[in-house]
Structure 1
């Protein structure tokens, strides 16, 4: 069966307060066109459909409009799992209706492992593949914390329970394969942070558990898995160098440090006899550029981009000493009347006010908590090791608050 593995759409995400709905819409249109043109039979989306647990109406309209369009293509089966950014309740709310269109949605782990296992059929209605749909596993979903646990014990217990959940669901898949009396390939979906996984600074990838607990390595996954379709990390990569254990990565650059990085979806041809994985490049729907240098160098580079009639979004990293207001005024004047847009101005001088507005219509409530923290941290002269300690402490607070918010759902 030929299917697409993708994840981490983050529909509704803003970049320095800039809305990106046009990019998300163009990506989803491109994906639907590709599925139709290539006669893809199934689509697996491994979490983080939305950027927040409370996506706006426009974000939801793009998501459901895309699923509606798929119904008229060769893609007769879709499996979607929730990521750590998603609300399990919101994703699962229309699941009974979506199931009528062969769209399976798993937001939270089910009590019965078999309820997370789906038999996918080919265009001749013959059994073709078994999918284990395992969403992001929150600590409270899979275990009960014990009084007096130290960090090391908690980490070991958490890894054990995550691994055990994958084992139980894959065991149910093996039962289903035996019932069908055919060597059907088993594909598992998951949303987690594996050991050795690579990230890019500023890409928005969060640690899923306080202190980085709960990471599995390549050897922790059941041997029965023929292909593992993971989400959470935004760069496409293998797990532990294993060809069949994959992150598809996010289809759009989530931050300026990903500018120029090729984004892909993974087309997978999985049969009992072979596994073929083809990265398919996603077009760039909005160019991002990072410019470095002193003011004169930044102005020269902006002038060149204007001559090229570029419509890039810019992050400017100023090197030198210049009063904040004057720097900002000259840079904004340089892009006036062009299609260029400055989203962020960074400076190496801590006294220039790293939390000041970086675009004229930017307000504090448009920034993520991570962006606010990083801007504040960027305005200090703390050494690198101290900054890492502060990031970890901040991450622990945010993770705890996120867990509390989801407990209240």
Structure 2
């Protein structure tokens, strides 16, 4: 059985107001070529189909038309779960109609696995959409203490996977899929934080041990997670969404898998997304103009650090942007500028602690209670 694992499409996402739709259309065209040429039997999508709970109509149209095309042309089962950016109800609204076409869309965490026949084999899949308190209508822990929260979250996720996989039989192909932050994974700036100061981080030991492969979504860099019993992997996003992903290749993952056998993993690189490039113009405007005339990174999104001694005029800024439409950010760098150490240290604080400090400063010393902090975290994690 040949399975394709992908995730984190974030359809509808923009880059500082610039549309990424042409790149996302190119992704689906490239994905179809891979499905056809690699003779894919099953397509797994591990969450974050859309970038927001209210995506633009063009993004929804691209999604539904593309998966319908894959199903009709190649007659393959497609299993899709909701990520933290997706609206579970909206995503799975057409689930009954889609299921008739072999397309399984799961919005909310449950305990019923997906079981489908593929050629002469059976695939059992423990699919767990993004498991938040709000989506499960449950409070994992009454305490706001980080260690208690993490322990409760791990326990809940582990229990859900146990229920999802308890009926699995060794003579079948056994897999799992979820949209979570697994400990040991390397993130980038483009992922929305889903962990409460680390409390929503899942230990690899909480992932199912009785499966051959666990397909994960949420982290945008392709990577394996070590410490779990089976093979566990993030496929990564198909295109780069922030400049922190500059220089990282994008791909989808193909898994060749048989019952009771160790899967074989193959990474297929993608070329659909524009590169996100950082320019460091240490010789000022003259260097920038030279690069533009040379058509350097002509088909890329660019973040420019411009080393200068005097503030550039609006005319000069407009000229740069007009000369290269891919330039997103222009950061002037003056000789006397120092690294903002405070800002760097701020990144080390858990997001709930940053909120408490912000609330205290804005209210003149008032303390945010646990209910308010929990509400803020639900908003930050993308829950409803």
Q: Same fold (TM over 0.5)?
A: yes
Q: Which residue of 2 aligns with 1:10?
A: 10
Map of 2:57 onto structure 1: 57
Cα deviation for residue 308 of structure 1 reads: 3.5
Gap change, CA 1:307 and 1:149, over 3 Å in 2: closer
Any idea what the Cα deviations from partners look like across 1:376-405, whole Å, max 9, x if unmatched?
Answer: xx9967363245448654568898446259
Instruction: Name the residue aligned to 2:36.
Output: 36
- Structure 1 runs (4+) deviating above 6 angstroms are 378-381, 395-399, 405-408
Larger helix share, 1 or 2: 1
Paired with 1:187 and 1:350, the residues of 2 have a C-alpha distance of 55
Which residue pairs with 1:119 in the alignment? 115
1:218 aligns with one of 197, 200, 204: 204
CA contact (8 A) 1:42 1:76 kept: yes
Task: Confirm or deny: 8 A CA contact 1:351 1:379 kept in the other structure.
Answer: no
Q: Is the 8 A contact 1:43 1:75 kept in 2?
A: no
From 126, 137, 157, give the equivalent of 1:162. 157
**Shift of residue 252 of structure 1?**
0.4
Gap change, CA 1:104 and 1:398, over 3 Å in 2: farther
Distance 1:118 1:387, change over 3 A: closer
The match for 1:262 is 249
Contact 1:210/1:399 (<8 A) preserved: no
Alignment of 1:6-405 (within 5 A): 6-110=6-110, 113-114=111-112, 117-123=113-119, 126-140=120-134, 141=136, 143-145=138-140, 147=142, 150-172=145-167, 174=168, 177=169, 183-200=171-188, 202=189, 204-240=190-226, 244-272=231-259, 273-294=261-282, 296=284, 299-308=286-295, 310-323=298-311, 325-326=312-313, 329-334=315-320, 336=322, 338=323, 340-348=325-333, 382=342, 384-386=344-346, 388-389=348-349, 393-394=353-354, 400-401=375-376, 403=378
Q: Deviation digits for residues 146-199 of structure 1, max 9, x if unmatched?
A: 545533222211211111111111113x2xx3xxxx611211001111111112
Paired residues in the alignment total 365
Question: How much does 1:225 deviate?
Answer: 1.2
Within 1, Cα distance between the matches of 2:206 and 2:221?
Answer: 21
Q: Are the aligned partners of 1:7 and 1:250 in contact in 2 as well (CA < 8 Å)?
A: yes
- Distance change >3 Å, CA 271–CA 147, structure 1 → 2: closer
Distance 1:407 1:189, change over 3 A: closer
The secondary structure found in structure 2 opposite 1:210 is coil
Structure 2 CA distance for partners of 1:405 and 1:249, relative to 1, 3 Å: closer
Is there any run of 5+ residues in structure 2 with no aligned partner, and where?
357-371
Q: TM-score, normalised by structure 1?
A: 0.80
How far the C-alpha of 1:262 sits from its partner, in A, is 0.6
Shift of the alpha carbon at 1:128?
2.8
Deviations 1:305-333 (A, max 9, x none): 4324723221101234432x52x532441
Q: Which runs of 5+ in 1 are unaligned?
A: 353-377
Q: How far does residue 54 in structure 1 lie from its aligned partner after superposition?
A: 0.6
**Compared with structure 1, are the counterparts of its residues 233 and 350 closer, same or farther at alpha carbon in structure 2 (3 Å cutoff)?**
farther
Within 2, Cα distance between the matches of 1:51 and 1:131? 25
Coordinate RMSD, CA, aligned: 3.0
Q: TM-score, normalised by structure 2?
A: 0.85
Q: CA deviation at 1:118?
A: 1.5
